[in-house]
Amino acid sequence: EGRHGQKKENPESPELIKARQEREAIQVREYCDLKDSFKDIVDSKKRDNDSLRVTTSLLRKSPDYYTVWNVRRTILQEGFLNNSDDETANKIYANELEFVQENLKLNPKSYWMWNHRRWCLEHMSQPRWDKELAMVSKFLELDARNFHGWDYRRYIIRQMDLQDKSSSDKILDRTQSEFDFTTTKISQNFSNYSAWHNRSTLLGKLAKNMTEEEIEAAVDNEFDLVKNAIYTDPADQSAWLYDLWLIGREERSISILGATVISFDPLEIVVAFDKIVNVRNPFTVTTMLDHVATRLHGEWKATGSDSSRGSIWIFQHAPGAAYGPTVEVVIFPDDVCAVKAGSKLSSAVCFELETLNQNFDSISGRLERLPIGKNLMYDVSKRIGPIPVPDGTTHKPNSKYRVTSLTVSDSLEDRVALLEREIATVRELAELEPDCKWPIQILSMLLSELRETVSIQSTQAKLIDDECIELQEKLISIDPLRQDRYEDRRAQLVFDRETLHLIKDSKNFPEIEFADEQPRALDLSMRGLTHIPISSYLMHIHTLNLDSNSITSTRFLRNLLNVRQVNLSNNLIERLEGLRHAPTLELLTLENNLIAKWEDVVAGFVFWREGKLSRTGGHLKVLLGLNPIIENEGGEYVLEKRWEDVGEVGVEIQWKSEEYRVTEEALIEAEGEGAANIHMDGTRRISTTTVEFDAGSTL
Amino acid sequence: MADIDSLETTVFDAIVLGTGFTQTIVAAALARAGKTVLHLDENEYYGGESGAFGFRDLLQWADKVAPAPSDDALNEENKDKIEFDKLVARAYDHFEIQLFDESGSNSNTAIDLASVLSSHSAASMDDRVKAVEEHITAAYNVKDLSKEAKEAIHTLASWASGSESSLTAANFKTVSPTQIRTLEEFLKATRKYNFDLSPKLLYSRGPLTNLLISSGIGKYLEFKLLERTAVYEALTDKVEMMPTSKEDVFVSKALSLKEKRLLMKFLQFAVDYENQKEVWRDYKDAPFIQFAQRAYGLSDKVLTAVVYAIGFDGNDYATTADGLKSVKVYLQSLGRYGNSAYLCPLYGVGSELAQAFCRVSAVYGGIYMLQHGLDKHNVDRNANIWKSVVDKSGQTLQANQLICTREYLSKDMDSYLEARILNRSYVSHCILVTDRSAFGETTLCKTLFPMGSLVLNPGETPVRKNQHTISVLQSDTPKASAKEELTAAIRKLVHIPGDPLSLKAPTSESNIDTQANTQAPQHLGDSTTAAAGEDKPRMSLDQELDMDQVREEILKAEKKLFEENENNTPVPSRPSTPSPKPASKVFQKSKTSASLSTVPTVAPRVLFSLFYKRTTSWPRVPYPVGSEKLTPLPENMTVLKPMNHSLDFESATEEARAVFERLCPGAEFLPPTPDPEDGAF
């Protein structure tokens, strides 16, 4: 207890200060002596009483000195326990337990002490777990939020359960009493992550022995408890987390939007998912060669710099290798898993891709002609082996819907009813507490959850989207510290809303596919977007207008397999990225952004060109007017030209791959001066309004 | 304790008369500041009007102060006389004792005293009592009466023999064997309880507690925590447990989710109310309840919790500024020593605190003499200076300063003060002993009956309601449980063992029969004309108190709390038991939930009651605390206020501080006692 703001009567006299310093000096000396003795023990490997005493004294002063604990155990094992009978050993362990407990009182958050305790108990012939439980209960009385205590408690319970593994009744009773213990702790102070967490796991265990009615009653009880906590203190995160856990998340299955061939030599196949996924097993690609089904070998890679995760995956076969008139891609449920929430494909899917007509004018033209996925999706979930017969249907293998984290139902309506009830409660709280971020955040999450249960093109879905966007805006204003996070979420929501018309509800809801009519242009200008989510939905877009947003990255371009023109003027972009998989891109407008270095532009081109895989020529024009690059590093005449000429300032590159490669490598080696050098070496003409950057003169 | 003959000197810096709470703080502070202090008390116990007694001592105390003192006219002869006993007795009146009588007065077993009383109406008091005593003993007809049984019969006889005007006498026109037995048991268990004359509580983080800690005086004391606060709700006609902490709000089943939110929101505001003046500025002088209702839209239920359970300090006319201040100190106090904002000394309230301060004073050289009769004051009237006090042995004791309460004034001084009292104010007390707790296992519990909540004449018009808020403090004595090993973690100030509040020497339960061992001393305090002394001009201050009404109010509260107790809400015991809706109910059909301890099905009965009224009258002007004195009183003496109606000690603590600062300008008020480790002590 301090002196509570009362000013001290007399400042400490010099004598008192001196006396204190002397006392402290003695303590320091003692500690150093102990440490020296300890070193001797380590060196001499002495295992006697004296060395044990040194560790005792040292640990009293410095319980977190874990080496001493380790040495102490060695001393005990080699010097005392190795030739002692059971009784003596137990005495030694009991002594150790007492020593630890005494120190734990002073320092209840030391890992090493709890570990030492476990070591003793695990080596004793008859550890008294019940005593341990009582001990840890007392510690949790002193500090109900000490996670060491909770962790140790779970450990003890595990040990006790192990001893009673033949008696499920005993284990159940214990689980129940542990559950009741969390109730007690939560009643005393519900701001306790450990208690809520423990409760959730215990409840799950208890539920296994309950009837459906009992589970439902238990869940109601939990909702009641957590609602009371939330209404009492809406700013307490621990209760909200439990609430979210209780509501649970429906594991949504992954939908495949479509598959198509994008190159015939080498054979390249694209598969588009509606979520970002990991591929666990490469999808099987087979073709009929000489009336024999032959598996094609190649590599599946996601678009983007991290080729192990993405929503668009590309298969590349060896150049020049043969394949038949049709190619089949089979994807089994276990092959993919969503990066978030771990959801899976609901059934195996087979695509039959036509490869007979190879008469493409250009890459993009081909994409237009091949209707992606449509009429080519087959459900082979029940008939793996023989080539599947197309019947145009898929079915949900599991007909149960999640209602809460512990309950399921045959009807989706139950989930909807639960969500609507929860939303109403949180909405009321959000109205009462307009300045508290938690109710708003949870409301937004619950609404998104509800949106998953309704048809994605429905009016209700649109209303939900609008409300969620509004909620993000509210969050930005009341919690500016986390503004970026809310803005990203908002961008995702706006993007989802604006791209909704690109997909349609499938008759096998919640499966989705591309809409029949794919528009070619999408205008998302002035939407306040901070980023464009990595999404497959834009696969068919030719012209994308993103003028006047707050976008900081062009990475999303990697999923625009068919894009020609992107307007990113008046954004916050610093470098060119994601061009590797935008081979069809022709015009990229980046006026009034934050690009300051030529390297950041050139690197983007390199990837773009690599993305073309030396197949064909191309022409990309990037407009860079009003970027710092023009003013800072662009070289004096570029700057001059910009003012003299009307219209666009930028770089136009035309290239022929082989020739350009040489130039480019040379440039990149030039390091810091590279930017300027690119100009000098690669530019034929810097005199007109457009800076042309022509690497290879003609084909 | 010093012996007057052993005094090395009879001249002191200060003489303090009376060991009431406020004086003892002043005495301790003076001694701590290096002044020589002589501290005298006419009583043989510490605490003065905040004293605490066992049962027998309580009866004796009542016996002593109950009779109305004769009042001699002021004359040259007696003007300097100190008539302590008289002035104490004057401060109390309306004594009334009742004893539970199972049989009722019409029963055959009742012993009628009318004939013996009338036949001895002319006899002396002693003879009358003796005759009645013999009459009762004969009628009681029990062989081998215990010492206490005889004492009980004697006590009953003396009550019955009281004067015509005695309210107690009217209650004992007959006595029953039940009454004799009850009284006998009480006398046997006399040391089992402490009855506080002015029960109060400490805020865990209020000025007094902070002072106890900073000065180191808390080391001398042991406390327990107030467990519950209940308020009578007129709407439901129930005494309901109030949510008074975040955890209570969380587990409360009485409040809707929305009410919980609004309540918490209001409390969050109150913690910071000083920085949010704009919210309450317009309500500053308006009643607190009005602000809470209008500015925060609190429902009636929540209002009751905020205004009474949390923010009530004894004043029915609290302004918004008063109320918010109380709520804030309450909230700051929560959680310091557990889930409660109030501390209560383990063995009696005022007397324990007073003794602790006396101890500090003694450590710093203060000299203490209890049971020290005083004769008169010597005053230099020309210079208007108090010179000395003369004790009954004729010893003259001099000091530069005199600090005392009104009971120690000379006739002359007292008359001066009396003439300046414009408005009378009183606190009515009622000490009850019941056969069981009104709140299940809850032992220390506060209950309030808000002003205007009790209908005194149900079904009649015009409706009469209680005009004052009635506060009840229950301090029960449950089974003495083993001390919790780990409570030692709560260091220094609070040691919260399982021992009950009033159990001075824990007796084993088997000594006493079942009825007695669940007895629960209750204290009903009715802060009548609470505002009078407090410079609050709202009441019509001069009207004579309607004592019948006050008694009726307290009786009604008593009924609601005890006889009609089955209406009251179940009391979830706490804090170690889970939420009111334990999940185990759901999971284990076979196991009964032990988490709810409901009110016993049998309503508690009142076994004994002692009613009395204490004056708290004080001149309204001009006596601002500490800054100025009542001029015609000698300049070097300080008369401290009587203990007021407040439920806490804060105003008394502030008064002591102000007095000290006036007497010793610039000196620090009770600085920390040095740490022995630093070698200076």
DSSP string, A596-656: --HHHHHHHHHHHHHHTTTSS--EEEEE-TTSHHHHHTS-HHHHHHHHHS-S--EEEEE--
> What average pLDDT does the segment B152-169 reach?
88
Long-range Cβ pairs for the range A409-414 (8 Å, 24+): A412/A453
Peptide bond into B458 cis (omega under 30): no
Percent of chain B with pLDDT over 90: 28
Q: Beta-strand (E) ranges in A466-614?
A: 503-505, 512-514, 521-523, 543-545, 565-567, 587-589
Count of C-beta atoms within a 10 Å radius of residue A231: 27
Q: What are phi and psi of A329, to 5 degrees?
A: -115, 125
| Mean pLDDT along residues A272-285 | 87
Using only C-alpha atoms, chain A has a radius of gyration, in whole angstroms, of: 34
Q: Which two tokens stand for residue B292?
A: 């809470």
CA-nearest of A121, A115, A151 to A136 is A151
Beta carbons of A225 and B264 less than 8 Å apart: no
Q: What DSSP character marks residue B648?
A: B
B-facing residues of A in 108-147 (CB < 8 A) are: 138, 141-142
Residue B583 contacts A, CB cutoff 8 Å: yes
Distance CA A524, CA A498 (A): 7
What is the reported pLDDT for B675? 56
A602 vs A276 pLDDT, higher one:
A276
- Most confident by average pLDDT, B39-43, B140-144, B227-231, B341-345: B39-43
**Residue appearing with tokens 């265990």:** A205
pTM, two decimal places: 0.75
pLDDT at residue A673, rounded to an integer: 35
Determine whether the interchain pair A187/B493 forms a contact, defined as Cβ–Cβ distance below 8 Å: no
Nearest to B672 among A9, A16, A231 (CB): A9
Instruction: Give residue limits of the domains in chain B.
Output: 1-51+348-425+620-681, 221-230+242-344+540-563
Please report where in the chains the tokens 């557990």 appear, as a residue.
Answer: B338
Pair of tokens at residue B371: 């049971």
What is the C-alpha to C-alpha distance for residues B582 and B595, in angstroms, rounded to an integer? 7
**pLDDT for res B26:** 96
pLDDT band of residue B104 (cuts 50, 70, 90) is low
- A11-15, A281-285, A487-491, B340-344: segment of lowest average pLDDT: A11-15
Chain B neighbors of A234, CB-CB under 8 A: 261
Q: What ipTM was reported for this prediction?
A: 0.73
| Residue B504, amino acid | K
> Using 50, 70 and 90 to split pLDDT, how confident is the model at B594?
very low
Cβ contact, residue pair B672, A217, below 8 Å: no
Strand, coil or helix: A36: helix
User: Is the per-residue pLDDT at A153 higher than 70?
Assistant: yes
Q: Report phi then psi at A52, rounded to 5.
A: -65, -40
Q: Measured between alpha carbons, how far is A153 from A148 in angstroms, rounded to an integer?
A: 8
**pLDDT for residue B69:** 80
For residue A489, give the nearest of A455, A441, A549 by alpha carbon. Answer: A441
Neighbours of B399 (CB within 10 A): 23
Per-residue model confidence (pLDDT) at position A684: 28
Go through B181-192 and write b for each residue having 16 or more CB atoms within 10 A of its CB, e for each that does not.
Answer: bbbbbbbbbbeb
For residue B132, pLDDT over 50 is answered with yes
The CA-based dihedral angle spanning residues A422, A424, A428, A433, taken in that order and rounded to the nearest 10 degrees: 50
Is residue B309 within 8 A of residue B242, CB to CB? The reply is yes
Residue B547: what pLDDT?
64
The more confidently predicted of residues B445 and A357 is B445
Percentage of chain B exceeding pLDDT 70: 78
Rg (CA), chain B: 26
pLDDT at B397: 94
Size of interface A-B (CB pairs under 8 A): 117
State pLDDT tens for residues B522-540: 555 443 332 222 333 223 2
Read off φ and ψ for residue B201, nearest 5 degrees: -125, 160
Measure B64 CA to nearest chain A CA, in Å: 44
Looking at residue A412, what is its pLDDT? 85
Q: Which of the four pLDDT bands, split at 50, 70 and 90, describes residue B246?
A: confident
3-state secondary structure of A90: helix
Mean pLDDT of chain A: 78
d(CA B473, CA B228): 10
Between B53 and A234, whose confidence is greater?
A234
Q: Flag if A4 and B210 touch (Cβ within 8 Å).
A: yes
> At residue B210, does pLDDT exceed 80?
yes
**Alpha-helical segments (H) within B299-458:** 300-303, 320-333, 350-363, 411-419
- Site from B214, B261, B340 to mutate, A interface, most A CB atoms within 10 angstroms: B261
Q: Are B92 and B386 in contact (CB under 8 A)?
A: no
A8 closest CA partner among B30, B215, B492, B650? B215
CA–CA distance, B428 with B92 (Å, rounded to integer): 9
Instruction: Return the pLDDT at A12.
Output: 65
Q: What is the average per-residue pLDDT within A311-336?
A: 83
Q: Residue A254 above 90 pLDDT?
A: no
3 state DSSP class of A678: helix
In this structure, what token pair is assigned to residue A501? 């018309």
Which pLDDT belongs to residue B328? 93
At A85, is the pLDDT very low, low, confident or very high (cuts 50, 70, 90)?
A: confident
Residue B552 has a pLDDT of 78
**What was the pLDDT predicted at B300?**
87
Q: Does B257 touch chain A (CB under 8 A)?
A: yes
B673-676: long-range contacts, CB 8 A cutoff, minimum separation 24: B673/B215, B673/B216, B673/B360, B673/B363
Mean pLDDT value across residues B596-614 = 67
pLDDT exceeds 50 at position B597: no
Contact A38, A52 (CB under 8 A): no
Q: What is the pLDDT of residue B631?
A: 53
Q: State residue B620's pLDDT score.
A: 65
| 8 Å CB contact between A654 and A629 | no
pLDDT of residue B2: 57
Task: Flag the least confident range among A273-287, A605-619, B101-115.
Answer: A605-619
pLDDT greater than 80 at residue A194: yes
Read off the pLDDT of residues B18-52 as tens digits, 9 standing for 90 and up. 999 999 999 999 999 999 999 999 999 999 988 88
More confident residue, A24 or A303: A24
In this predicted structure, which of A347-351, B200-204, B362-366 has the lowest mean pLDDT?
A: A347-351
Residues B669, B215: Cα–Cα separation, whole Å: 9
Higher per-residue confidence, B566 vs A390: B566
User: Residue A235 — very low, low, confident or very high, per pLDDT cuts 50/70/90?
Assistant: very high
**Domain B1-51+348-425+620-681 falls in which CATH fold?**
FAD/NAD(P)-binding domain (3.50.50)
At residue A385, the pLDDT reads 30
| Residue A196's pLDDT band (cuts 50, 70, 90) | very high
Q: How confident is the model at residue A506 (pLDDT cuts 50, 70, 90)?
A: low
Task: Tell whether B577 lies on the interface with A, counting CB pairs under 8 A.
Answer: yes
Confidence of residue A264 (pLDDT cuts 50, 70, 90): confident
Mark yes or no for CB contact B213/A1 under 8 Å.
Answer: yes
Q: For Cα atoms A141, A143, A148, give the angle at the middle one, nearest 5 degrees.
A: 105
Residue of B nearest to A213 (CA): B586
Residues 6+ apart with CB under 8 A from B403: B14, B15, B16, B17, B23, B26, B27, B637, B638, B640, B659, B663
Q: Say whether A6 and B214 touch across the interface (CB within 8 A).
A: yes
Rounded average pLDDT over B441-458:
82
**Bigger pLDDT: B409 or A696?**
B409
Alpha-carbon distance A430 to B202, whole Å? Answer: 38
Q: Higher model confidence: residue A267 or residue A246?
A: A246
Close Cβ partners of A315 (under 8 Å, ≥ 6 residues apart): A267, A268, A269, A270, A271, A283, A285, A298, A299, A300, A329
With a cut of 90, say whether residue B93 has pLDDT above it. Answer: no
pLDDT higher than threshold 60 for residue B235: yes
> Does B1-51+348-425+620-681 match B221-230+242-344+540-563 in CATH topology?
no
**pLDDT tens digits along B108-125:** 678 888 888 888 888 888
Residue type for position B165: S
Helices A412-432 & B257-271, crossing angle to 10 degrees?
Answer: 30
Q: Which two tokens stand for residue A165?
A: 């593994």
CA distance A598 to A621: 15
Exposed, middle or buried by CB within 10 Å (0-12, 13-18, 19+), for A263?
buried
pLDDT at A605: 66
Quote the tokens at residue B289.
């309840």
Cβ of B577 within 8 Å of Cβ of A184? The answer is yes
Q: Which of B262, B582, B678 sits opposite A183 (nearest CB)?
A: B582
Closest Cα in chain A, distance from residue B583 (Å): 7
From residue B670, give the alpha-carbon distance in Å to each of B23, B34, B636, B659, B681.
14, 11, 22, 13, 15
User: CB–CB of B247 and A187 under 8 A?
Assistant: yes
Backbone torsions φ then ψ of B67, nearest 5 degrees: -65, 140
The pLDDT of residue A625: 76
The DSSP-derived string for A315-375 is EEEPTT----SEEEEEE-GGGEEETTTT--BSS-EEEEEE-S----SSHHHHHHHS-SSTT
CA distance B626 to chain A (A): 21
As a whole number, the mean pLDDT across chain B is 77
Instruction: Please determine, looking at this structure, whether the domain spanning B221-230+242-344+540-563 carries the CATH number 1.10.405.10.
Output: yes
Which tens digit of pLDDT belongs to each residue from B466-518?
A: 888 888 887 765 333 322 222 222 222 222 222 222 222 222 222 222 222 23
Q: What is the rounded average pLDDT of the residues B443-464?
A: 84
Q: Which residue has the higher pLDDT, B402 or A590?
A: B402
pLDDT in tens, B250-307: 988 888 999 999 999 999 999 999 999 998 989 988 999 899 888 888 888 888 888 8
How many CB atoms within 10 Å of residue B226? 23
Q: Is B400 on the interface with A (CB under 8 A)?
A: no
3-state secondary structure of B196: strand
**Arithmetic mean of pLDDT, A663-671:** 39
**Least confidently predicted of A21-35, A176-190, A288-302, B394-408:** A288-302
B671 and A CB contact within 8 Å = yes
d(CA A271, CA A331): 10
Question: Is 60 exceeded by the pLDDT of residue B681?
Answer: no
Task: Tell me the nearest-neighbour CA distance from A217 into chain B, angstroms.
Answer: 7
Contact B575 A222 (CB under 8 A): no
Q: Using CB atoms within 10 A of its CB, is residue A532 exposed (0-12), middle (13-18) or buried (19+)?
A: buried
What is the nearest CA distance from B284 to chain A, expressed in angstroms?
25
Q: Mind listing the pLDDT tens digit for each residue in B50-76?
A: 888 888 999 999 998 888 888 778 888
| pLDDT top residue among B640 and B520 | B640
Sequence-ordered list of residues with C-beta below 8 angstroms from that of A158, at least 6 positions apart, any chain: none
Considering A344-358, B558-572, B595-609, the range whose residues carry the highest mean pLDDT is A344-358
Nearest to B679 by CA among A20, A148, A284, A460: A20
Query: Can you give the pLDDT at residue A575?
Result: 86
Of the candidates B473, B479, B521, the one whose C-alpha atom is nearest the C-alpha of residue B500 is B479
Count Cβ neighbours within 10 Å for each residue of A300-335 and write b for 16 or more, e otherwise. bbbbbeeeeebbbbbbbbeeeeebbeebbbbbbbeb
3-class secondary-structure state, position A290: coil
For residue A345, what are the β-bridge partners?
A254
Q: Residues A359-385: pLDDT tens digits?
A: 443 333 334 434 333 333 333 332 233
pLDDT tops 70 at residue A392: no
Residue of B nearest to A425 (CA): B257
Residue A639's pLDDT is what?
32
Task: Tell me which range, A490-494, B49-53, B140-144, B308-312, is most confidently predicted by mean pLDDT.
Answer: A490-494
Distance CA B11, CA B398 (A): 5
